[in-house]
Structure 1
Amino acid sequence: MAYKLILADDHALFRSGLKMILEKNRGIEIAGEASCGKEAVRLVREASGGVDLVVLDINMPDMDGIEVAEAIRAFDADVGILMVTMYEDEAYLKAALKAGADGYVTKQAIDEELITAVNAILDGRKYIYPTLAALLFEDSSESEEGAGANPGVLSAREKEVLRYLALGYTQREIGESLFISEKTVETYKSRLLTKLGLEKRSELVRYAFENGIVEL
């Protein structure tokens, strides 16, 4: 029996490339493709006979890959989740694993690593691209840079969450405003603290005002 996979990436050409690589591996069937996060969640939820593995991009419309992983884990603890993304930093890696991902591979390395990662997860193991795995055992250089970190390292959604935090919104209010869960807001806050080398919310507020995230 073939393993059923769902591919989720907002670029059709990239999905086609993934499909081409994966279908060379005997025993794999692409059961569905999604161009946005909500569609990916729906496909997993409605799949006849279940899904064995979901391959997710992080940067997608309406829900990013972290949010999709959290949503899937809320109703399916067993399906494998592999992040295939352009992001190579520790914050995204840790956020993905915290959200329930079983593997993490960069798009730059998919030619040699995708099949290895997929087979590992289907066998019930975790897989992190070796170069990135080392980040889990190193202190982030960003923590040494502190509040002087470049705001350009933040994604649009991270800046949005940071802006609400700086303006005094509670995590519940932020979630309601952005149509995401309170848990997801907490994930974003933790990611911001890690990426910027900060320790508490008050430091995030100061950073937001000093770096133009919130303009007076």
Structure 2
Amino acid sequence: MLYLISQPINLSFKMIRLALADDEILFRNGLVRILEDYENFEVVYSTCCGDKLIEKIKTSPVQPDICLLDLRMKPMDGIETTKQLNKLSPDIKIIILTSYYSPSFVKYMVKLGVNAFLPKLTQPEELTLALETVYQKGIYLTNDFAEAIRSQSQQQQRPFFEIKEYLTKKEKEVLYWICHGLTNHEISEKIFRSVRTIEGHRQHILDKTGAKNTAGLVVYALMNNVINIDEEFLKKSMYYQL
């Protein structure tokens, strides 16, 4: 699997709050038990479907950092739940539990703001790594996810994101370092600009590309040759391959 690795993950024992929505009760309960074995994860609530998850987020004083969503649950599936979450609380990160990686589906879900995709058969060690990486870096890129991006890039006739305005040279440079997993402060030191300037560049990049988060920016960069998934990610270790 691939994940942002240019900077080490250091959570300083930060408790990551999680919410689960899956209509398979045995899977959901098993996942809760696995996560409870790790001291830096707290499952604040788990539900059988998206509509109940949305209701809990609306009414609970405790908000999750990350939601893990089953794609095919009923009555509200993972797609509609993602839409509702983005309207309700766009800061919550989203991981979709699915083994379905068609290029058009990945494109659609990334545009909605999904941060990662994981198959339900993922091993606990990789699951916890994905959660920590999404929490800190905003994206976790599996081989299947990367291959879907590559395939979409090769066959697309329309842009992955509808570009409102092309990026400047400096914005492309900032985007390059965002894709390396650097923080605004770290980028400011790299290119000798203030943190506030970097924050402004980041917001302009989001506005111009239509991306909703770091995951969207990484995909945009891959699709538009700001970075190359073969050379940059694999050979230069921007991502780490397990």
Farther off after superposition, 108-117 or 134-143? 134-143
User: How many residue pairs align between the two structures?
Assistant: 143
> Letter of the aligned partner of 1:34 in structure 2?
T
Post-superposition Cα deviations, 1:113-153, rounded to whole Å, max 9, x if no partner, equal 2111111111142013223212101248998xxxxxxxxxx
CA contact (8 A) 1:66 1:96 kept: yes
Task: Give the equivalent residue in structure 1 for 2:41.
Answer: 28
Consecutive unaligned residues in structure 1, runs of 5 or more: 144-216
The separation in 2 between residues aligned to 1:110 and 1:82, in whole angstroms, is 15
Q: CA RMSD in A?
A: 2.2
User: Runs in 1 of length 4+ with deviation above 6 angstroms?
Assistant: 140-143
Judging by fraction of residues, say which structure has more helix.
Answer: 1
Q: Structure 2 residue aligned with 1:88, among 101, 105, 115?
A: 101
> Letter of the aligned partner of 1:38 in structure 2?
D
Post-superposition Cα deviations, 1:57-112, rounded to whole Å, max 9, x if no partner, equal 11011211011011010021111111112323223322221221111111132444
CA contact (8 A) 2:103 2:148 kept: yes
Q: Provide the identity percentage.
A: 28
CA contact (8 A) 1:10 1:35 kept: yes
CA contact (8 A) 2:18 2:45 kept: yes
Q: Structure 1 pair 90/111, CA: closer, same or farther in 2 (3 Å)?
A: farther
The separation in 1 between residues aligned to 2:133 and 2:112, in whole angstroms, is 19
CA contact (8 A) 1:102 1:127 kept: yes
CA contact (8 A) 1:105 1:113 kept: no
TM-score by length of 1: 0.60
Task: Give the equivalent residue in structure 2 for 1:47.
Answer: 60
Task: Give the equivalent residue in structure 1 for 2:151.
Answer: 138
CA contact (8 A) 2:101 2:148 kept: no
CA contact (8 A) 1:69 1:101 kept: yes
TM-score by length of 2: 0.54
The separation in 2 between residues aligned to 1:15 and 1:29, in whole angstroms, is 14
The separation in 2 between residues aligned to 1:71 and 1:7, in whole angstroms, is 15
Residue 17 of structure 1 and its aligned partner are, at CA, apart by 2.0
The separation in 1 between residues aligned to 2:36 and 2:58, in whole angstroms, is 23
CA contact (8 A) 2:103 2:152 kept: no
CA contact (8 A) 1:113 1:129 kept: no
Alignment of 1:34-183 (within 5 A): 34-139=47-152
The separation in 2 between residues aligned to 1:88 and 1:20, in whole angstroms, is 27
Consecutive unaligned residues in structure 2, runs of 5 or more: 1-13, 157-242
Farther off after superposition, 38-47 or 88-97? 88-97
Q: Structure 1 pair 65/119, CA: closer, same or farther in 2 (3 Å)?
A: same
Q: Structure 1 residue aligned with 2:29, among 16, 25, 33?
A: 16
What SS does the aligned partner of 1:7 have?
strand
